[in-house]
């Protein structure tokens, strides 16, 4: 039997931004995402008594201790649950269409949760896998599921996990505009922590979330691509507004991000239903009809190169795969 597990990345339409508990990774708010086909991570874990410490290989390169930190959190929880003490060798491959720095901790930590529990002989429910993945990286809790998933914030380790919302077999797609980033990175972990602690705009973000979330759920139920886009875009803009109020202030936007936003607005003027969202980096992700992905891509080729534009469709949840 194969011990390789694949998880696809997800993009939040209602963002997770801020933790109520940094150790347990309990979020301040519920979030809602779409899992995508285009990017995924495949991981295998082997517990081995002969190992003196945990080892992580990413795309065949051994990683340092810093990279191992999130991985070790998940491995320790699995060892505790399974009653084992052996160290683990973790092999992980990121499948990203271009070398554009789109590797995602969401797919990585979700695949790890699946592969580590499989290697330890644990048979976990999706809910348990979601909690496990969450402890590695919050957004990974949602990558257990295909289609739309909502991470319900909860108040403890046991009550904070994602659940499937709806499948996504309707006319929705995403198009990534990969833009250059010359700035020093503020990780999502650091960025959200600084924002919660110092931004006077953070409370405003929190206060507006219930409305965004319930409107988004309705739009998804009605398969209304326009409303999904409108709500996702305003939610993302509010999240990014909180960073400008932080101390010290920061932004994930680059000049090219704004160029991409302008291109989206120009497409709307042409009559397309297209909106954007952004995460803790300068790339811009478009939400549009799956059936118009290629048409929209062709328009964007006026401003961006072939390799900057990556189309994505709804993708599956965590699953075992065979690898040679």
Task: Work out how close the CB of 212 gets to ligand DP6 at its nearest, in angstroms, rounded to a whole number.
Answer: 13
Could you say whether residue 280 binds ligand DP6 (CB under 6 A)? yes
Angle at 87 between CA 10 and CA 94, to 5 degrees: 25
Could you say whether residue 212 binds ligand DP6 (CB under 6 A)? no
Number of H helices and E strands in the chain, helices first, is 9, 14
Could you say whether residue 16 binds ligand DP6 (CB under 6 A)? yes
What is the Cα–Cα distance from 162 to 167, expressed in whole angstroms?
14
What is the Cα–Cα distance from 127 to 82, expressed in whole angstroms?
17
HSE (side-chain half, CA atoms, 13 Å) at 116? 33
The alpha helices in 95-165, defined as continuous H runs, are 105-119, 126-136
Q: Which stretch binds ligand DP6 (CB under 6 A): 8-16, 117-125, 241-249, 303-311?
A: 8-16
x-marked contacts with ligand DP6 along 155-194 as a string, rule CB under 6 A: ---------------------------------xx-----
Task: Work out how close the CB of 168 gets to ligand DP6 at its nearest, in angstroms, rounded to a whole number.
Answer: 17
What pairs with residue 31 in β-bridges? 151
What is the Cα–Cα distance from 181 to 103, expressed in whole angstroms?
15
CB nearer ligand DP6, residue 117 or residue 139: 139
Q: Which stretch binds ligand DP6 (CB under 6 A): 12-20, 51-59, 61-69, 254-262?
A: 12-20
What is the Cα–Cα distance from 163 to 215, expressed in whole angstroms?
18
Could you say whether residue 31 binds ligand DP6 (CB under 6 A)? yes
CB nearer ligand DP6, residue 24 or residue 122: 24
x-marked contacts with ligand DP6 along 64-103 as a string, rule CB under 6 A: ----------------------------------------
Contact 286, 175 (CB under 8 A): yes
One of 5, 25, 112, 172 touching ligand DP6 (CB under 6 A)? 25
Task: Give the residue nearest to ligand DP6 (CB).
Answer: 138
Q: Which stretch binds ligand DP6 (CB under 6 A): 47-55, 133-141, 268-276, 293-301?
A: 133-141
One of 5, 6, 7, 15 touching ligand DP6 (CB under 6 A)? 15
Beta strand spans in the chain (E):
4-14, 19-21, 26-27, 31-48, 55-58, 61-62, 87-95, 148-152, 161-166, 173-177, 275-278, 284-288, 309-312, 319-321
Residues that bind ligand DP6 (CB under 6 A): 12, 15-17, 25, 31, 105, 137-139, 188-189, 279-280
């Amino acid at each position: 039997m194969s011990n390789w597990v694949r998880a696809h990345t997800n993009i939040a339409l209602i963002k997770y931004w801020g933790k109520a508990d940094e150790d347990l990774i309990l979020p301040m708010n519920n979030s809602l995402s779409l899992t995508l086909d285009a990017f995924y991570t495949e991981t295998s874990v082997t517990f081995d008594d002969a190992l003196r410490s945990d080892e992580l290989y990413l795309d065949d390169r051994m990683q340092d201790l810093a990279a191992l930190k999130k991985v070790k959190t998940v491995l320790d929880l699995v060892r505790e649950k399974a009653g084992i003490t052996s160290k683990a060798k973790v092999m992980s491959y990121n499948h990203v269409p271009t070398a554009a720095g789109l590797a995602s901790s969401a797919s990585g930590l979700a695949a790890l949760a699946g592969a580590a529990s499989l290697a330890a002989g644990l048979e976990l429910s999706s809910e348990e896998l979601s909690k496990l993945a969450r402890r590695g990286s919050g957004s990974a809790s949602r990558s257990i599921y295909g289609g739309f998933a909502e991470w319900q914030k909860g108040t403890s380790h046991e009550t904070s996990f994602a659940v499937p919302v709806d499948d996504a077999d309707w006319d929705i797609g995403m198009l990534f505009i990969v833009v250059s980033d010359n700035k020093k990175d503020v990780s999502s972990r650091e960025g959200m922590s600084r924002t919660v602690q110092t931004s006077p705009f953070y409370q405003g973000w929190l206060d507006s979330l219930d409305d965004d979330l319930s409107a988004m759920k309705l739009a998804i139920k009605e398969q209304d691509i326009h409303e999904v886009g409108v709500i996702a875009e305003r939610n993302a803009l509010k999240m990014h507004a909180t960073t400008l109020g932080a101390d010290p202030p920061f932004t994930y936007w680059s000049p090219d991000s704004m160029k991409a936003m302008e291109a989206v607005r120009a497409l709307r003027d042409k009559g397309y239903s297209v909106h954007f969202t952004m995460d803790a980096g300068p790339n811009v992700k478009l939400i549009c009809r799956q059936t118009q992905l290629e048409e929209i891509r062709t328009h964007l080729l006026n401003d961006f190169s072939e390799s900057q534009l990556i189309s994505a469709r709804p993708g599956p949840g965590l699953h075992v795969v065979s690898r040679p």
